[in-house]
Amino acid sequence: MRLNSLLETRLADLHAAGLLRELRRVDSPAGPHLQLGGQRLHNFASNDYLGLANHPVLREAAIQAIERFGIGSGGSRLMGGALAPHHELEIALADFKGTEAALSFASGYATAVGTISALLGKDDVIILDKLVHASLVDAARLCGAKIRVYKHNDLADLERILQWATRPRPASSGGRPLRPNVLVVTESVFSMDGDGAPLREVVALKERYGAWLMLDEAHATGLYGERGQGLANAQGVADRIEIQMGTLGKALGVSGGYIAGSRKLVDYLVNRARSFIFSTAPPPAIAAAATAAVRYVQTPVGRELCHWLWTHVRAFVSHFPPPDGRPPSAIFPVIVGDEAAAVALFAALRERGFFVPAIRYPTVARGAARLRITLTATHAAEDVNALADALRRLLPRFSPTKIDHAPPRPT
Ligand SMILES: *Cc1c(COP(=O)(O)O)cnc(C)c1O
């Protein structure tokens, strides 16, 4: 079959299943509004939680770095592309996270894939929360370790798997029994459901079984903890987590990912993380802007932005209170279920001036299609209320009609 005919069939199948995705061209900078196809929409789809993506402090940092270092970095980090701004970023990140060292990557995706496949191999076991991000799932597949998945936030299920995983196994050569390295991977705030992991309990469990923990703080960095260090910091367990991951493209408003941890961990990743080694270093202006963001979120003005975000979250929660009393986040999933219904709800909201895209398989499970609302510090309070009103009116037409708040989290 000719490639294009095959692809045409596949695309038609996606369309028929309500799963076709298309790129939309946005003609405005990141922010609370979006210029889309001649229409100005309220943007409730952005991960730019603090409104830093187009912030003057970051723009200025990037411009200065361009003046000084130009645009491209000219090579991978190990081949002369490690410019001063990359080093400054990593110093700022380690200081922010309170770790010995940090390493930045071109994206969060590259961070997950590079780190996990550097650390684990076929004799090891990786244990993932059912709802972790695709980058972590892909990393687990790539590293070749045995993969086990525990029910979302289910500590009993995690413990059952830990018991199995940490049992010594007979060595294939008949020598001393092997005890595999076991890595537990979870997010602190889940990207598509917005609920938090029971971190203290997960940390206690991995310690009891001698496993390591990798925590992805993509949706918590900048937002939780006294200076925005993340949920692990807010819950007082950061220094017990071996591998702390985060992204620079969400609340920090730029792009990239990072690992924070021991000096040994970073030295090892520099030698073994293939997505780090075999990839051109990000432009120095990106590193400089990210450094400015890391510093800015910790200042009183930065904390003030966070305060605005939480004010909006509380306002939205007052319209749609979580039934199980779980702590809210800036991410509100509106579970519709059916893929086509989710797309129809998206279209209805768009007609009313709100941009809240439908999230479908494979980003979430089949039949768990949803609208994913994200609030940001730069929204106006009246726009948050207007969205809540519009949703209240529209939802009865798109069953099941509820703002879902994932199953109660085990305590
Ligand atoms: C966005 C995201 C990533 C990937 O980060 P990018 O910088 O966008 O590649 C990884 N993990 C989680 C949980 C995310 O939400």
Residue pLDDT tens, the chain, 411 long: 899 999 999 999 999 988 888 898 999 999 999 999 899 999 999 999 999 999 999 999 999 999 999 999 999 999 988 899 999 999 999 999 999 999 999 999 999 999 999 999 999 999 999 999 999 999 999 999 999 999 999 999 999 999 999 988 777 677 777 789 999 999 999 998 899 999 999 999 999 999 999 999 999 999 999 999 999 999 999 999 999 999 999 999 999 999 999 999 999 999 999 999 999 999 999 999 999 999 999 999 999 999 999 999 999 998 877 667 788 899 999 888 888 899 999 999 999 999 998 999 888 888 889 999 999 999 999 999 999 999 999 988 886 544 444 443 333
pTM: predicted TM-score of the whole model, two decimal places? 0.94
Number of residues in the chain: 411
Q: Is 105 in the pocket of ligand 1 (CB under 6 A)?
A: no
Distance CA 398, CA 372 (A): 15
Q: Is the peptide bond before 177 cis (omega within 30 degrees of 0)?
A: no
- Per-residue confidence (pLDDT) for residue 41, from 0 to 100: 97
CA of 172 to the centre of ligand 1 (A): 37
Q: Is 135 in the pocket of ligand 1 (CB under 6 A)?
A: yes
Q: Which of 187, 189, 191, 247 to mutate to test the pocket of ligand 1 (most atoms within 8 A of CB)?
A: 247
CB 198 within 8 A of CB 237: no
- Per-residue confidence (pLDDT) for residue 19, from 0 to 100: 85
Q: Is 247 in the pocket of ligand 1 (CB under 6 A)?
A: yes
- Per-residue confidence (pLDDT) for residue 389, from 0 to 100: 94
**Per the structure block, which two tokens stand in for 235?**
């819950």
CB 343 within 8 A of CB 358: yes
Q: Which of 130, 135, 186 to mutate to test the pocket of ligand 1 (most atoms within 8 A of CB)?
A: 135
Please, what is the Cα angle at 190 between 189 and 196, to 5 degrees? Answer: 45
- Per-residue confidence (pLDDT) for residue 400, from 0 to 100: 55
**271 part of the active site:** no
CB 288 within 8 A of CB 64: yes
Q: Is 222 in the pocket of ligand 1 (CB under 6 A)?
A: no
- Per-residue confidence (pLDDT) for residue 399, from 0 to 100: 64
Q: Which of 109, 115, 186, 258 to mutate to test the pocket of ligand 1 (most atoms within 8 A of CB)?
A: 109
Backbone torsions φ then ψ of 245, nearest 5 degrees: -115, 155
Q: Is 129 in the pocket of ligand 1 (CB under 6 A)?
A: no
